[in-house]
Amino acid sequence: MEAVLKKAAEQPLKHKSGKRLDQILYFLIFVVLAGGALFLFNAVSGRQAVLYMLGAVAGFILYHARFGFTSAWRQFILYRHGEGIRAQVWMLLVASLLFLPLLTAGTVFGVDMSGNVNAAGMSVLIGAFIFGIGMQMGDGCASGTLYHIGGGDANGIIALVGFIAGSVIATTHFDFWTNLPGLGEVSFVESYGVLPGFFIQVALLAIVYAITVLVEKKKNGKLYKKEVKAKSWKSIFFGPWPIVIGGLALAVLNAVILLVQGKPWGVTSAFALWGAKAVQAFGGNPENWSYWQSPSNLASLQEPVYFHTTSVMDISLMVGALLAAVLAGSFRKGLKFKLPMKMVIGSLIGGLMMGYGARISFGCNIGAFFSGIASFSVHGWLWFVAAYAGSIIGVKLRPYCKYRD
């Protein structure tokens, strides 16, 4: 009886301390977002401040929709549940529709528009394959790693450390990979015309969609659908969101990012930059490495990190995910600090593989897959095929990393 009374007495104290922590976090989030945007507005530009806030929106969407590329592919590999992949198809279709007029216009509101169209070659196939293995071992892709960190998962921090290290290693011999055989930069729209190129894109997306439906029905007899209960309009702020809604929101967001900065959303170039600056801090000379020889990359290395758009968006993405987690009341519940050593090792290795693979394949699930395909780039489709193949192997390795799948 005394134990029951003691537990009952402790509950209000826990509630008050939890509420106080949330209030502190709300204040810190406001300071970081508002203060960061004001600083960037004065130190860099209004455009940089806007992109900083858009990064926070990305984190907010990713967390509330639990929009994971890694988990969606894994669910289809293990159980033939294709709901997540179909949500990605809808996302890519809407993004393609929104990207098309912007890319074909060339210049919008004085901003030159350019898609993520990169060379389609061996470096993409090999890099994406490595990335696919790593993202299953690390339990998240690049954007997933960042929003997991924002949600309080320490495992994401370990994966990020590996991600940064792998990215830096890849920049030391980047020229070797870019000189491998390939098709060069190929865009469906530029190669075949606007309408034919768009219809090729739609046809490929329809094939992916149809494959998931046919395979899932054959395996399970019906299509699986995860129930997400939205109690009211308040779910917009407190979550959760249906995964399809999350995908559509990300499509619109990526188009807005393209409109504001003239190029689509990317994530992983920041990790290479952070690692290179760490090397500089310890007396190294990454400016002599092949990756940093291009004028734009060298400029990023020489400037303060807050001039690098991808970096500021990655930082705000984590803050946006933190805001979503606190609003959902799941931040304190999701905090994980004690991790099995096998999980730590798996996350570190997975992060290394993702960092290395992303650099040599021109991006991750966001920069290469999402933004690449939405830009009608052949390299985006090659990346998808190779990364999915790598994920099949990665899924088989996950049990050794002590994940619950």
Q: Residue ranges of the domains in the chain? A: 19-401
pLDDT value, residue 259 = 97
pLDDT value, residue 335 = 67
Report which residue type is found at 361: S
Indicate the pLDDT class of residue 230, thresholds 50, 70 and 90: low
pLDDT value, residue 106 = 87
pLDDT value, residue 403 = 67
Q: Which of 17-31, 226-240, 271-285, 294-308 has the lowest mean pLDDT?
A: 226-240
**Which is more confident, 16 or 31?**
31
Indicate the pLDDT class of residue 55, thresholds 50, 70 and 90: very high
pLDDT value, residue 18 = 67
pLDDT value, residue 94 = 98
pLDDT digit string, tens, across residues 387-400: 999 999 999 999 88
pLDDT at 111 exceeding the cut of 50: yes
Mean pLDDT, residues 77-91 taken together: 96
Q: Which of 157-171, 229-243, 310-324 has the lowest mean pLDDT?
A: 229-243
Mean pLDDT, residues 157-174 taken together: 94
The residue length of the chain stands at 405
pLDDT value, residue 334 = 59
Residues in CB range of 193: below 8 A, 6 or more apart = none
pLDDT value, residue 226 = 75
Cβ 96 vs Cβ 373: under 8 Å: yes
CB neighbourhood size of 78 (10 A) = 13
Cβ 120 vs Cβ 378: under 8 Å: yes
Indicate the pLDDT class of residue 293, thresholds 50, 70 and 90: confident
- Report in angstroms the alpha-carbon separations of 353 from 132, 279, 396: 9, 19, 16
Task: Name residue, tokens 């999402």.
Answer: 370
